[in-house]
Amino acid sequence: MGNFLKIFSANFNFSLGKINLPIPYWQAITIVILLFVLVFMMAKFRRHYVDWSFKGAAFGVFFGFLLALILEGFLIIGGRTALTSILGWKNPPPAITSALDAGRSKLVQVLGINMEIPSSYANVDVGVEKAVDVLQSLNPADTKTVKAIFCK
């Protein structure tokens, strides 16, 4: 018991730049507990006395939906969709494939994209060997540019 009190009343050196503050452990523990109680009580106060509002939620849902549409547009241009990626379909059913192709062609037309990723490239997983082969097949100027990008 005496050992416990000796350790409990020992000082903890708190350094703030050049200032050293020797604080007993019992005071440091008490401050941490009181800060926890303060945060807990502030949360309870807010919960009981502040009215809930869905104005911010509607704003968040709108921007979440907009972000999902933008992400799905990029995936469709790339030849994949979130639906086929999540479900892991390598060959989706023909009805879904035709709907995805129609949506992709319409999106490409609306955005005015000249170059799009062919579906054959989007469906193939490229390994390290293929990337090295492509890098070695580039002309020296392009190789230098790629190395400058990746070797910064």
* DSSP letter for each residue of 72-120: HHHHHHTT--HHHHHHT-SS--HHHHHHHHHHHHHHHHHHT-S----HH
pLDDT in tens, 50-97: 666 666 677 778 888 888 878 777 777 666 676 666 767 777 777 777
Element of type H or E holding 14: strand 11-16
* 117's tokens: 């990723």
Confidence band (pLDDT; 50, 70, 90) for 34? very high
Euclidean distance between CA atoms 123 and 88, whole angstroms? 11
117 or 4, higher pLDDT: 4
Q: What pLDDT sits at residue 79? A: 65
Rounded to whole angstroms, the Cα distance separating 54 from 124 reads 44
pLDDT in tens, 15-29: 777 788 787 888 888
- Encoded tokens for 99: 């709907």
Q: How many CB atoms lie within 10 A of CB 75?
A: 18
Cβ atoms < 10 Å from Cβ of 18:
5
- DSSP annotation of 114 reads S
Half-sphere exposure of 132 (CA within 13 A, CB side): 3
DSSP 71: H
Using 50, 70 and 90 to split pLDDT, how confident is the model at 122? Answer: low
Distance from C-alpha of 122 to C-alpha of 111, rounded to nearest angstrom: 19
